[in-house]
Structure 1
């Protein structure tokens, strides 16, 4: 699991240690089944709207379905993993979600010729860049954890790098 800032895709250097200043957030956990589009499995804006409606706290956790435990040790290279459409990521940005956590190796398609459309849409890069926003990839949320609202403690290693190992911890709001 790692958390990245816009420095992960920019030509300029930006550090996750400088981008992430707060480590506690209200978060919504949703489970989404990607839809088949040609040979790709895509998380579309329609799938997100089914779960989120019109508002969300500042952080969002997306658990993809099916949610099998083997995700924790899967070798994802050359598997054409599911990804978020650019429109889905624009919707996430429009909701002002600053911290996105997902159980995939990337929010973008594995082989996208370097376009990084979802990353760029989320950070609004390169114009009006959201420097305080983060993406955490390769998380795992067990099936016994229900969709809903939680409190998130997003712990990162204190590296001056564009990304750092991280440990997101969800706490149920009673």
Structure 2
């Protein structure tokens, strides 16, 4: 099924029958990616006495599982500024639109001391004069093993806070990246890139111009079959009243722009 979308007086065509899923599924297998010093997710049937909520075990007519996981450490997730604030803010309350024009860019982080960092200069170069609603960052090299990495205590690449501030100032509202965090793994709790993107200056007293309706999505995977360029993004979340939710960002190639 094909559709036409209109944005900034331009018309784009998309083929809704060809979704490009850039999420990483959550499972209870050893292949599940893990960050932040957690064990793997748990998906297991409810047990009440001799009754087991699994059809294959004979005592139940339905499969009836409990799932225990952490959205930040166990797969693709979307978070709002409530992730870093003293007061509670829910991503379910503040993400109220779900389709955005997005730019996919590929960036090889630069070596800075012992770190690998995505710099402001690199982001400026990739975007040129473009100001997308959403930015999808694919880091290079782009090994398929990103789907299963155990990130804890590995000092993964991260986004420099000046790059995050540039994205905020440019008007990018939704940032998606294939890393466990936009910030350095061990950063003494500074969270400079998170704060810069959301324009949070004080986590205890939220400033009036903080970006409540902007999101960061981490632990995506953008396959090599998806070239850099413009896409329609459908940013799907589960309706958890929480600072973050597991999510399923889906891209659609666009043509036109006339």
TM-score, normalised via structure 1 length: 0.98
Instruction: Render the CA deviation track for 1:62-102: whole Å, top value 9, x for unaligned.
Output: 00000000000100000100001111101110111000000
Gaps of 5+ in 2: 1-75, 202-206
Gaps of 5+ in 1: none
State the partner residue of 1:157. Answer: 238
CA distance in 2, matches of 1:18, 1:58: 19
Tell me how far 1:49 sits from its aligned partner.
1.2
CA distance in 2, matches of 1:11, 1:97: 24
- Confirm or deny that 1:8 pairs with 2:83: yes
State the partner residue of 1:171. Answer: 252
Over the aligned positions, Cα root-mean-square deviation in angstroms equals: 0.7
- Is the contact made by 1:55 and 1:95 (CA closer than 8 Å) also made in structure 2? no
Could you say what secondary structure the match of 1:173 adopts? strand
- Confirm or deny that 1:25 pairs with 2:94: no
Tell me how far 1:142 sits from its aligned partner.
0.2
- Runs of 4+ in structure 1 over 4 Å off: none
Q: By percentage of residues, which structure has more helix?
A: 1
User: Which one has the largest radius of gyration?
Assistant: 2
Tell me how far 1:46 sits from its aligned partner.
0.7
State the partner residue of 2:123. Answer: 48
Which structure has more relative contact order (CA 8 Å, sep 6+)? It is 1
- Confirm or deny that 1:136 pairs with 2:217: yes
